[in-house]
């Protein structure tokens, strides 16, 4: 079943107008020996049958798992109005705004998005979005390499390992030297950075709150970076920025991160968006689309894609990045989310996350045999050390409907008993207490 509208009568009229006998004639330009050897797909179905199938897919997942997992994808509230507005079909069925006169809606919204990212991070300029947090980190690294003309990166091991892996993939075939600095406990190891940094460094790459949830003051590291002619790339978590210091205030040259938490559903990992922001002098090194303000012939304000000479459709292989489609609609969701929360709302939301997380921290670290492993102050995630391997506990709790956290052994040597627990504003006190109760129970009944 296709959704092609033309009736066979109309098709015949069109064939006549073209001057061919049949549709097959139009495919004559494809040599016979190149024709498809197989096309084994099922028969089509109506939307009703398709939706039934989709419901079946949904049911094959466990519904209603209690999430105490984050690791870069967060279960936050999404105000209803985000959906209502982003689902305006003039937004989601439009193309990239290459024709500004009939795309001012998207262009102004993305300009406002860029402004929101700047206001959130304290940076001066932002692009109109990247794919996700991991690819944004990679683009930030490439940008630093372009700006400095150097090729060594010092990466804190407490930067999200999923993001670090994406960066490593991006850089694998380039002449770039990635040095991972192992964290000291759950914070960046200042001494190790001091020891490793040199004039060949393009950038120091850190994250705050880091993968362990620890909030870092990066001011000393930006000073260190700048003293060696390197940049500081700070990856961050937008919701935390309701409370914690901005990358700009700590001296970062590039701020980056994942925007899923801003009004985008978990959706099994995508789509959401990555953001990247920098200081004005580096604007021509930004990857991807940028919206700029200008005026029309009557001097009315308008918005337009600008500095396109950085991009692939103009510069081809000399572009700052290959990115073309970005995550516009998700960035729009981010903007709407931030607008609905508003200035005070974001602060309140950040506080609520921290309050819930601190409550959980106290409860969990009070369990017999469990200790708090996070050093420093944390935002909405923290690490506890269990008396037993974390993956076994997680496995058991999962079968009871609780995703209790991310066992860290998989990502960090010597952390087999460590569990990264995430507590967003959506977790109720009762749910937190249930988690604590279940962990205690499992530990008590643990059989090796």
Ligand X SMILES: Cc1ncc(COP(=O)(O)O)c(C=O)c1O
Beta bridge partners of 276: 256
Name which of 92, 117, 118 is nearest 105 in CA terms.
Answer: 92
Shortest reach from residue 71's CB to a copy of itself, in Å: 23
- Binding to ligand X by residue 294, rule CB under 6 A? no
Edge-to-edge strands, sheet with 201-208: 125-126, 274-278, 254-258, 231-236, 201-208, 152-156, 177-181
- Judged by CB under 8 A, the chain residues 389 through 448 that form the site for another protein are 391-392, 394-395, 398-399, 403, 406-407, 425, 428-430, 432
Shortest reach from residue 100's CB to ligand X, in Å: 18
Q: Give the residues lining the site for a copy of itself (CB under 8 A).
A: 47-48, 51, 77, 79-80, 84, 89, 426
Shortest reach from residue 77's CB to a copy of itself, in Å: 5
- Binding to another protein by residue 27, rule CB under 8 A? yes
How many C-beta atoms lie closer than 10 Å to residue 155's C-beta?
Answer: 22
- Binding to another protein by residue 326, rule CB under 8 A? yes
Q: In whole angstroms, what is the distance from residue 406 CA to residue 70 CA? A: 8
- Binding to another protein by residue 101, rule CB under 8 A? yes
Shortest reach from residue 324's CB to ligand X, in Å: 3
Site string for another protein, 254-293 (x = CB under 8 A): ----x------xxxxxxx-x------x--x-----xxxxx
Residue of 325, 342, 343, 429 that binds ligand X (CB under 6 A)? 325
Shortest reach from residue 367's CB to another protein, in Å: 17
- Judged by CB under 8 A, the chain residues 214 through 233 that form the site for another protein are 215, 217
- Binding to another protein by residue 348, rule CB under 8 A? yes
Q: In whole angstroms, what is the distance from residue 138 CA to residue 288 CA? A: 13
Going by C-beta distance under 8 Å and a sequence separation of 6 or more, which residues neighbour residue 367? 436, 439, 440, 443
Q: In whole angstroms, what is the distance from residue 185 CA to residue 375 CA? A: 7
Number of residues that bind another protein (CB under 8 A): 216
| 36, interface contact from ligand X, another protein, a copy of itself, none, CB < 5-8 Å by kind | another protein
**Closer by beta carbon to a copy of itself, 77 or else 347:** 77
What token pair was written down for 17?
């107008």
**Closer by beta carbon to ligand X, 309 or else 324:** 324
Secondary structure class of 429 (helix, strand, coil): helix
Shortest reach from residue 266's CB to another protein, in Å: 5
Cα Rg of the chain, angstroms:
25
Going by C-beta distance under 8 Å and a sequence separation of 6 or more, which residues neighbour residue 191? 184
- Binding to ligand X by residue 314, rule CB under 6 A? no
Shortest reach from residue 52's CB to another protein, in Å: 9
- Binding to another protein by residue 30, rule CB under 8 A? yes
Strands 66-67 and 371-372, by their bridges, are: unpaired
CB neighbour class for 143 (10 Å; exposed up to 12, middle 13-18, buried from 19): buried
Q: Where are the beta strands (DSSP E) in 329-445?
A: 371-372, 381-385, 402-403, 406-407, 418-422
| 343, interface contact from another protein, a copy of itself, ligand X, none, CB < 5-8 Å by kind | another protein
């Amino acid at each position: 079943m296709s959704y092609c509208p033309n009736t066979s009568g109309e098709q015949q009229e069109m064939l006549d107008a073209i001057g061919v006998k049949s549709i097959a004639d139009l495919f004559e330009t494809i040599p016979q020996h190149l024709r498809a050897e197989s096309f084994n797909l099922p028969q089509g179905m109506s939307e009703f049958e398709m939706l039934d199938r989709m419901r079946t897919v949904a049911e094959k997942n466990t519904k209603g798992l209690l999430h105490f997992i984050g690791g870069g994808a967060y279960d936050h509230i999404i105000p209803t109005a985000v959906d209502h507005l982003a689902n305006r079909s003039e937004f989601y069925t439009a193309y990239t705004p290459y024709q500004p006169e009939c795309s001012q809606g998207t262009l102004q919204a993305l300009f406002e998005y860029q402004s929101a990212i700047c206001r959130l991070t304290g940076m001066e300029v932002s692009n109109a979005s990247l794919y996700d947090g991991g690819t944004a980190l990679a683009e930030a690294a490439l940008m630093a390499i372009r700006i400095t003309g150097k090729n060594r990166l010092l990466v804190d091991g407490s930067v999200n390992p999923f993001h670090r892996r994406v960066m490593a993939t991006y850089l694998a075939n380039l002449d770039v030297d990635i040095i991972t600095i192992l964290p000291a406990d759950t914070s960046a190891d200042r001494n190790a950075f001091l020891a490793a940094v040199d004039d060949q460094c393009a950038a120091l790459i850190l994250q705050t709150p880091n993968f362990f949830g620890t909030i870092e003051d990066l001011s000393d590291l930006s000073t260190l970076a700048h003293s060696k002619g390197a940049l500081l790339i700070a990856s961050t978590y937008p919701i935390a920025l309701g409370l914690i210091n901005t990358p700009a205030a700590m001296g970062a040259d590039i701020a980056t991160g994942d925007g899923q938490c801003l009004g985008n559903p978990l959706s099994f990992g995508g789509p959401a968006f990555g953001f990247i922001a920098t200081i004005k002098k580096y604007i021509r090194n930004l990857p991807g689309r940028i919206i700029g303000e200008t005026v029309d012939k009557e001097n009315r304000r308008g918005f337009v894609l600008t500095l396109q000479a950085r991009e692939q459709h103009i510069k081809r292989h000399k572009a700052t990045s290959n990115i073309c489609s970005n995550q516009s609609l998700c960035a729009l969701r981010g903007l709407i989310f931030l607008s609905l929360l508003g200035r005070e709302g974001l602060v309140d939301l950040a506080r609520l996350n921290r309050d819930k997380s601190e409550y959980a921290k106290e409860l969990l670290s009070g369990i017999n045999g469990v200790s708090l492993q996070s050093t420093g102050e944390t935002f909405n995630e923290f690490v506890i050390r269990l008396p037993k391997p974390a993956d076994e506990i997680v496995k058991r709790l999962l079968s009871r409907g609780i995703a209790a956290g991310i066992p860290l052994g998989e990502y960090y040597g010597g952390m087999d008993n460590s569990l990264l627990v995430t507590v967003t504003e959506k977790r109720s006190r009762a749910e937190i207490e249930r988690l604590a109760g279940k962990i205690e129970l499992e530990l008590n009944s643990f059989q090796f």
